[in-house]
Amino acid sequence: MTEPRPAFTSFRDRLLKRQRLFGTFLKLPTTQVIEMLGPIGYDFIIIDQEHAPLDRAMTDLMILAARASNIAPLVRIPEFTDANILSALDCGAMGIMVPHVTSVERAKAIVRASRYAGGTRGFAGLTRASNWGKVGATGHMAQQDSQVAVVAMIEDQHAIDKAGDIARVEGIDAIFVGRGDLTASFGVDPEAATKVAEISGRVAAMARDADTPLMMLPTSKADFGFVSDLGATAMVLASDHGFIRSAAGAALKDYTS
């Protein structure tokens, strides 16, 4: 008999314990994909406001679908502002992913915006995050501070040397190495892949020294081995766009070859 998947509310605890977790980016403005991914066994999804046309209303519905499907909803906000973080968390996100974290000061500001105790997160008592007031104000604040995960993306060359200090900021729960942006930053350099692999190793080592979990996006089975060896335990597998393109291409090839 298959063991039931842990509750979506345990995502941060499982992340900090370095349990193997699998998720994916979601860019399509729909709930149906999430309803499919939950029963399949994915642990988390990342609602991608940075690179997809997902407004607050659609994000709210996608978070609802994820919670109903027992899959932890994270939101990659388009940019760091207190309002962007508050919006995602009040809707019930169990974590936020922030792009282009390039300094300790920025990392500390992100944590402050995400926390009640010692932070600046605005309070609202009747939200999905508070189970519509069921747990009470103090219970809600304590629960959110213990359950919401904060993931900082290292994806700029000038942030690499600061990655260790960023990872050590109290309240940064994981580091995500953004290899896509790092690769793009090298332009047409034929050695870009090699350089990004070396950078990934450096950032991973800094995260390990800071005792901060590592999240990465493997691009193949071989790459999965590479990022696993670096110490990544939270794996982001492609995206809904990628899954559709891959499956559609494979189906067409089956019938035309």
Give the whole-angstrom CA distance, residue 94 versus residue 202: 28
Tell me the one-letter amino acid at 70: N
Q: Which candidate, 73, 102, 96, places its Cα nearest to that of 9?
A: 73
Q: Are 183 and 198 in contact (CB under 8 A)?
A: no
Strands (E), 143-231: 149-154, 174-177, 214-216
Angle between helices 82-90 and 56-68 (to 10 degrees): 40
197-214 as b/e: b if 16+ CB within 10 A = eebbeebbebbbebebbb
Neighbours of 170 (CB within 10 A): 9
Q: Taking the chain, what is the end-to-end CA distance rounded to the nearest angstrom?
A: 40
**Residues with catalytic roles:** 51
